[in-house]
A and B are shown apart, each in its own frame.
Chain A
Amino acid sequence: MDYFDIFIGILGSAIRLSIPLLFTALAGLFSERAGIFDIGLEGKMLVSAFASACAAYWTGNAWLGLMAGIVVAIAFSFLHGFASITNRGNQIVSGVALNFVAAGLTIVLGQAWFGQGGRTAQVPGSGRFTPIILPGADAMREVPILGPLYANVISGNNILTYIAFLMVPISWWVLYRTRFGLRLRAVGENPGAVDTAGISVSWLRYRALIVTGFLAGFAGTYLAIAQSAAFINNMSAGKGYIALAALIFAKWKPVPVMLACLLFGFLDAFANFMQGKSIPLIGEVPVQIFQALPYILTCVLLAGFIGIARPPKAGGVPYTKER
């Protein structure tokens, strides 16, 4: 196998691995730009993965699975909102609590309904999002360089992958070109400015959380019925936290979020590829080094080595009208 084929292989796997990150990071983008820190992304991804696997198994329809994933993720968003917007609770505590609830609830319900130690039953083919071969993929295959790139990286993904990339310009457009986006960015910086302009801070933040739930629902669904064919215990495996790191790494901006997720996905794919292989002179490198890189890069960024990551100013602070 020559190096180009290896590279194409890693690239294709990088795309697949970065999709759940991309959905989740965009989900976090909306809530954090509105001033609600969301450490609960991990939990939302997990419950929506579980819900979509169940619904897809019972109905045999992938789209109904997606819908179930979205609905459950939005419900979790509302819980987070109820604790941290309505009752002005600590956003981190609420988010962590929801992560625990998600981890426990999926196992308990999974065991009760399917009796397979927390797994759901295998979802049939009709209940899954399967790879789509784009027109001309086979014909292009023989063209040098572009051919394999088109056939193996751009073509052959499932519909959610394309939706994920479509969400990037849409998110940008919503944030920077609509009234909702202007207000959302404002409420994350200075909720007082929004309140005195006669706009409800709570309702605006709840709406941001609905968008967060919507996008997190896609992420979970992707894990359960696009990347695999069933829900498995704790299948989000920390991806929610890596997505959060990508969000910070991208300084809370949509297009950089995509690039950060692709980078982290690539590192992940590279780590998988390097498993058991040895590099000349150095020897076998533990995969953990590659797996840790997203976190290390984020720490380096936060320490101020790659520009300054300025979070939304009102992030994490519940809004109270001053007396």
Chain B
Amino acid sequence: MSLDLPKEIEPAIELVGIDKKFGAVHANKNINLTVAKGSIHGIIGENGAGKSTLMSILYGFYHADHGEIRISGKPISIRDSQAAIAAGIGMVHQHFMLVENFTVLENVMLGAEGGQLLRKGVASARKELKHLEDDYGLEVDPDAVVEELPVGSQQRVEILKALYRGAEILILDEPTGVLTPAEADHLFKVLRVLRDQGKTIILITHKLREIMAITDTVSVMRRGEMVATRKTSETTVEELAELMVGRRVLLHVEKGDANPGRVLLSVRNLSVKDARGVTMVDNVSFDVRAGEIVGIAGVAGNGQSELLEAIAGIRKPASGEIFIDGNPVAGIDPAGLRDLGLAHIPEDRHHMGLVLKFEEYENSILGYHRDQRYGRGAMLDLDAMRKDAEEKIAKYDIRPPNPRLKTANFSGGNQQKIVVAREIERDPNVLIIGQPTRGVDIGAIEFIHKRIIDMRDAGKAVLLVSVELDEIRSLSDRILVMFAGKVVGEKTGDAGEQTLGLMMAGIAA
């Protein structure tokens, strides 16, 4: 489906009948897309809708089985990334493609060094960077080492890399996932300047609000198909959500008032150091009561992860106390904490929550394998495990409903549901959750959020850590903001985004 463009607007990119299969998976089905020159074009869709595949084809990572790509009206073949760069396409990847111990200058030059020896290229790159900085407001110190820069600046380096190679078309893949609201605003400012200077920008995201805020046109993908293209000014968040999922979606979490009871989780003067000896959590104290959700907002890397891990018993606190239902628990290992009624949904399901090579039913009892229900002594009762897994699959609508399938073969959303089902079905008194919906599609988000609210309404204490401010705001009854290891403030659940954003940046308390 292509948009009818006014005659005077020329297309920067046209994709005609792009088709791509990976084995049995039909990732892109006959995709047609026209992107107008000098516009910001959003592409949204759930995980696995085929957005990334389509962009990888455009950037020469994969080859389409069928179809044609036209740049400025001319059909071209993009065999590899080099050809894409030559055609004026630049890409800012979700996970930055930067060499972390290189300087900004070295990163920008890599692949465009201008000769066998570096000396000459360094001088001209330095000059060109100054130009780009002046033209687009992209300020970065060229001699700074990338790993020492904040994430927002690292992203600017990625954009500079593309512009340095002469990109006219810039593809950004989920660019705001790692940014603070203020950094995201700055990025949008830069993108508008780029557009006004005639660059074409394709923005891939699953955040509807961003689409509405920044794009001129938006295309929606669902299950490998391009299902709609709209002018942004003529559509609504509700319509886009429905197009993405294929049914009506509840975007706002519905929950009643909290009914807080006694304190179930209590943290007093807790400090935690990381492996380098740096203090990541600095003298933090708070309570979580029965029947309430306490959210911890903050930009990634401000100590939330370490706080969660300390409470879950994975990381030893340097000092301070943790109480569950009044009992001091600091120093007890995770298994002991589970017995005391604590459940933990870790931030990174691949790293900590699941063993991807295990079958689904094995993961669905992991950590509770010593339970009498799943076996006696050294032996596991496989039948009981599978029956238990089947019940969870039915209750949590995990697809495909096959407990014998390798966990790696489930989608991100379903993998997360496996973890959520495992922890919540133990009926814990205290539930601590990190990034409950990272990399999870809208349909599953809705489901997981509902389960979390159910836990609260059942009188459990819930501690929620998320870098998604929207998620924190819609679920939490109280919000604590962490910055540089300290809790810098507490707000009620209906606090404004801007207030929280300033606190997250360490500007206001």
Contact = CB atoms under 8 A, between A and B. Distances in A.
Nearest to A189: B99
Contacts of A189: 99-102
A296 B111 CA distance: 41
A183 B110 contact: yes
A192 B119 CA distance: 25
A181 B111 CA distance: 12
Contacts of B109: 182
B102 A179 contact: no
A126 interface: no
Given A179-B115, A198-B80, A186 B22 contact: no
Nearest to B161: A197
A88 interface: no
Given A177-B118, A197-B111, 15 more contacts: A177-B117, A177-B119, A178-B118, A182-B118, A189-B100, A190-B100, A192-B93, A192-B95, A193-B97, A194-B110, A194-B111, A197-B112, A198-B81, A198-B85, A198-B111
B106 interface: yes
Contacts of B83: 198
Contacts of B97: 190, 192-193, 195-197
Contacts, number: 73
A182 B119 CA distance: 12
Contacts of A185: 99, 102
20 contacts: A179-B116, A179-B118, A179-B121, A180-B116, A182-B106, A182-B109, A189-B100, A193-B98, A194-B110, A195-B81, A195-B97, A197-B97, A197-B110, A197-B111, A197-B112, A197-B161, A198-B84, A199-B82, A199-B110, A313-B101
Nearest to A176: B118
A190 B98 CA distance: 7
Contacts of A182: 106, 109-110, 113, 118
B410 interface: no
Contacts of B267: none
A192 B117 CA distance: 23
A301 to B, nearest CB: 17
B13 interface: no
Interface in B66-107: 80-85, 91, 93, 95, 97-102, 106-107
Contacts of B110: 182-183, 186, 193-194, 197, 199
A186 B112 CA distance: 13
Given A186-B99, A190-B97, A193-B99, A323 B111 contact: no
A179 B110 CA distance: 8
B81 A197 contact: yes
A192 B83 CA distance: 17
Contacts of A179: 113, 115-118, 121
Contacts of A178: 116-118
B356 to A, nearest CB: 14
B61 interface: yes
Contacts of B93: 192, 196
A137 B139 CA distance: 59
Interface of A: 177-183, 185-186, 189-190, 192-199, 313, 321, 323
Nearest to B84: A198
A194 B106 CA distance: 12
A196 B91 contact: yes
A178 B119 CA distance: 8
Contacts of B118: 177-179, 181-182
A194 B102 CA distance: 13
Contacts of B98: 190, 193
A197 B112 CA distance: 8
B321 to A, nearest CB: 30
Q: Which of A182, A189, A190, A196 has the most CB of B within 10 A?
A: A196
A55 B115 CA distance: 39
Interface in B103-151: 106-107, 109-113, 115-119, 121
A181 B115 CA distance: 12
A17 B503 CA distance: 62
A179 B115 CA distance: 7
Given A177-B117, A182-B109, A196 B99 contact: no
A180 B115 CA distance: 10
A195 B82 CA distance: 9
B81 A321 contact: no
B117 A198 contact: no
A185 B106 CA distance: 11
Nearest to A323: B22
Contacts of B116: 178-180
Q: Which of A179, A180, A183 has the most CB of B within 10 A?
A: A179
Nearest to A192: B97
Interface string B7-45: 000000000000000100000000000000000000000
A199 B109 CA distance: 12
Contact of B61 (A193, A197, A321): A321
A313 B102 CA distance: 12
